[in-house]
Amino acid sequence: MGKAYAGRPVLDDVSFTLDAGERLLLLGPSGSGKSTLLNIICALARPDRGEVRLGDELLAAPSGAGRGDALRRAHIAIIFQGLRLVSALSVWGNLALAQRLQTGRSDPGAIAVLLERLGLGHRADARPHELSQGEAQRAAIARALVVRPQLLIADEPTSALDHANAKVVAELLDELAREAGASLLVATHDDRLTSHFPRQLRLDSGRLAA
Amino acid sequence: MIRLALAYLADRPLTSALNVLLLAISVAMLVLLLQFSSQAEERFERDIAGIDLVVGAKGSPLQLILSSVFHVDSPTGNIPVESIDLLRRDPAVARVVPLALGDNFDGFRIVGTDAGFAGLYDLKLAEGRSFAAPMEAVLGADVARQTGAKLGQKFIGSHGLGDDPQGDQGHDHAPFTTVGILAPSGTVADRLILTSVESVWAVHGIGHDHDHDHDHDHKTGHDHAHGHDHDHHKHHAHDDHDHDHDHAAPSLASPAAPAPLQASGSGLEPEFTALLVTYRNASAAIRLPAMINRQTALQSAVPATETARLIELIGASLAGIKVFAWLLAATGGLAIFVALLAALRAREGDLALLRVMGASRAQVFGTMLLEGVITAAAGAVLGWLAAHGLMALAAARFATLADLGFSPFQFHSGEIALVAGVLGIGALAALIPAIRIYQLDPARVMARSL
């Protein structure tokens, strides 16, 4: 696919597949086009050329065709760089809201299990501003996974973390995606994560490097 | 989405509480105004009952109505007993009920009257019987409840109408005996003590002889009573006359047996304070008031007209307060609008996130709208509860309110409209921020953070 802003190409001939359950690291410096690529994959932006498919379904296309919103709601979870937890809700409330938006109801059992799994059981009632950076990161991961996505996308999940915490988060993402059977796509400029991902793609000036 | 809206409101507790408080104050004021005016109007209507015209001494027509129908003001004076003949002879008049006021017991007015009074309000006895012999009295339901009086108990009336601190002189020589207690009627009768006109006269040393002609020469004009309203030393100027009285006050138990009354040798003339008239047909409404007003000593007042004037007077004052209360509600709406607008920028990211996570446009629009509506609803409920709570407190603290039939737990259909109006203000206040959220492009907002 390709995408340009104001005539300046941001993505050029980018093409790749991600298999079910596969874990992929998308590396690239700032301005390489990572964010644009993730926007298109999440159906938040349209490509100028080419298309994105989730299984057999069209996710994003230049014409706007496809079931982007519905597919994203049902099958894709995103961990944003800024985490974007809803500040007015507790950790538990954030997870419950994600479930309700996806299925119309919440599953307290699944929330409790996941929070325990991520070491946040005792922080379920805490509000986002009461969490440490590491806790907030884990809460954002929990919110993404609680909806049992087919595709988990993480944007710079370790950018604000020290080496030890970055390692923990990378391992956790790997482990949880594996347990959930979800494909994992992590976009980062952080080379520390390369050892955790068997497959890596490098984006440079909008083009995939070999 | 309701939970999220509630969470956002809880997230800024001070702002939310202030907005709720503003609306609650306005709702409380509006509910109080509504209740006051509607209950007052209802009460007026009940107390007017079947009274088409009140005839009394010349003076303020409103004062005549207040004193003789609602029993809350001093009478305009007294009128000669012969006045009743003038009315009873008129074929267009169905009923004339005399009133003789002047005394009170424990603040409750003692009303000398006849059986027709019971007919005006369809009064029923809860205990005992109606007054028959002199100095027998029937107590209104509130009088009995508040004084704890029982059948057979004697009590002594005091000068004045109960609201006059000077009127505390007792009539020790002429005690009344309670022979009956009325069932509650929801009318002014609940707080009156009814007795025969003759008993009131007897208390004041005014005798009357049955089947005895009297010839009195009234030398002075009527007097606007103060303190002791039944002032028998001053009389209304009217022509000398010499006739049989065949219109005395019968007891409640014997309405069809009028006993003629006459002045005895005390030197004081029997008089009425007012006459309550019920028409037989509509033609009387045109002719009678003019005819009465032509009498030098008499004036007529139409309760419906005077009450309408009173409501208009009160209404003019209430209208100002009502405008202020609605302005307060509008200010509450404006405060909600400002609060939501201020929160909009911070909220954009959250609501865009919700859209990305699967929320529809309608859902995020609804979340914003709900914040306004929930604030308004909380204000409306709080204000409504405060208004009725205040009314209950006031009724418990000031017995007069209860005496006047003021009910703190009476609900008015207008309250529903009022609450709906305040909810509308809340929704309107949230509409612009909600529309902006509706138009939000989640991809653009979220793309900034990806």
Whether pLDDT at B233 is above 50? no
CB–CB contact A72 B349 (8 Å)? no
In Å, how far from its chain's centre is CA A181?
Answer: 15
Q: What is the CATH number of the domain that holds A68?
A: 3.40.50.300
Q: What integer pLDDT is reported at residue B166 of this predicted model?
A: 47
Quick one: average pLDDT of A174-199?
A: 88
ipTM here: 0.81
Q: Which of A88-102, A161-175, B166-180 has the lowest mean pLDDT?
A: B166-180
Name the pairing type of β-strands B154-155 and B176-182. Answer: antiparallel
Chain B CA closest to residue A73: B358
Q: What integer pLDDT is reported at residue B376 of this predicted model?
A: 92
The percentage of residues in chain B with a pLDDT greater than 90, rounded to a whole number, is: 20
- What is the least distance, in Å, from the CA of B449 to any CA of chain A? 7
d(CA B58, CA B75): 10
Q: pLDDT digits over B195-220, tens only?
A: 999 888 888 777 654 433 333 333 33
Q: What integer pLDDT is reported at residue A194 of this predicted model?
A: 86
The total number of structural domains that make up chain A: 1
Residue A70 CB partners (closer than 8 Å, separation 6+): none
CB–CB contact A89 B4 (8 Å)? yes
Q: What integer pLDDT is reported at residue B361 of this predicted model?
A: 85
Quick one: average pLDDT of A16-27?
A: 93
Whether pLDDT at B73 is above 50? yes
Whether pLDDT at A202 is above 90? yes
Whether pLDDT at B261 is above 50? no
Interface probe for B, chosen from A32, A76, A87, A152 (most Cβ of B below 10 Å), is A87
The percentage of residues in chain A with a pLDDT greater than 90, rounded to a whole number, is: 45
Question: Sorting pLDDT into bands at 50, 70 and 90, what band is B245?
Answer: very low
Whether pLDDT at B61 is above 50? yes
Q: Which residue has the tokens 């009022």?
A: B418
d(CA B141, CA A146): 69
Return the closest-CA partner of residue B100 out of B178, B203, B188, B186.
Answer: B203
Question: Sorting pLDDT into bands at 50, 70 and 90, what band is A142?
Answer: very high
Mean pLDDT of chain A: 89
Quick one: average pLDDT of A98-102?
A: 89
Whether pLDDT at B239 is above 70? no
- What is the least distance, in Å, from the CA of B366 to any CA of chain A? 14
Question: Sorting pLDDT into bands at 50, 70 and 90, what band is A143?
Answer: very high
Q: What integer pLDDT is reported at residue B207 of this predicted model?
A: 60
Q: Where are the alpha helices (DSSP H) in B263-302?
A: 283-294
Whether pLDDT at B231 is above 80? no
Q: Which residue has the tokens 């982007």?
A: A68
The percentage of residues in chain B with a pLDDT greater than 70, rounded to a whole number, is: 80
Question: Sorting pLDDT into bands at 50, 70 and 90, what band is B448?
Answer: low
- What is the least distance, in Å, from the CA of B360 to any CA of chain A? 9
CB–CB contact B354 A35 (8 Å)? no
CB–CB contact A97 B447 (8 Å)? no
How many CA atoms lie within 13 Å of B396's alpha carbon, on the beta-carbon side?
Answer: 7
Whether pLDDT at B264 is above 60? no
Q: What integer pLDDT is reported at residue B403 of this predicted model?
A: 60
* Contacts with A84 from chain B: Cβ below 8 Å: 349-350, 353, 449
**What residues of B are in the A interface, CB distance below 8 Å?**
3-4, 7-8, 10-11, 346, 349-350, 353-354, 356-359, 442-443, 446-447, 449-450
Which residues, listed in sequence order, are joined to residue A9 by a DSSP beta bridge? A4
Q: What integer pLDDT is reported at residue B251 of this predicted model?
A: 35
Higher local confidence (pLDDT), B275 or B223: B275
Q: What integer pLDDT is reported at residue A192 of this predicted model?
A: 83
Q: What integer pLDDT is reported at residue A168 of this predicted model?
A: 82
* Contacts with A45 from chain B: Cβ below 8 Å: 443, 447
Q: What integer pLDDT is reported at residue A44 of this predicted model?
A: 84
- What is the least distance, in Å, from the CA of B447 to any CA of chain A? 6
Q: pLDDT digits over B295-345, tens only?
A: 777 889 999 888 888 888 877 878 888 888 888 888 888 888 888 888 887
- Full residue range of the structural domain in which residue A44 is found: 3-209
Q: Which of A6-15, B157-166, B340-349 has the lowest mean pLDDT?
A: B157-166
- What is the least distance, in Å, from the CA of B357 to any CA of chain A? 6
Q: What integer pLDDT is reported at residue B255 of this predicted model?
A: 36
Mean pLDDT of chain B: 79
Dihedrals φ, ψ of B241, to 5°? Answer: -150, 160
Q: Which of A96-100, B249-253, B278-282 has the lowest mean pLDDT?
A: B249-253
Which residues, listed in sequence order, are joined to residue B194 by a DSSP beta bridge? B111, B138
Among the partner-chain residues A38, A72, A97, the one whose CB lies closest to the CB of B450 is A38
Higher local confidence (pLDDT), B146 or B232: B146
Question: Sorting pLDDT into bands at 50, 70 and 90, what band is B394?
Answer: confident
d(CA B4, CA B396): 41
The percentage of residues in chain A with a pLDDT greater than 70, rounded to a whole number, is: 100
Which residues, listed in sequence order, are joined to residue B104 by a DSSP beta bridge? B109, B158
Run of H or E residues at A31: none
Quick one: average pLDDT of A103-118?
A: 90
Q: What integer pLDDT is reported at residue B267 of this predicted model?
A: 52
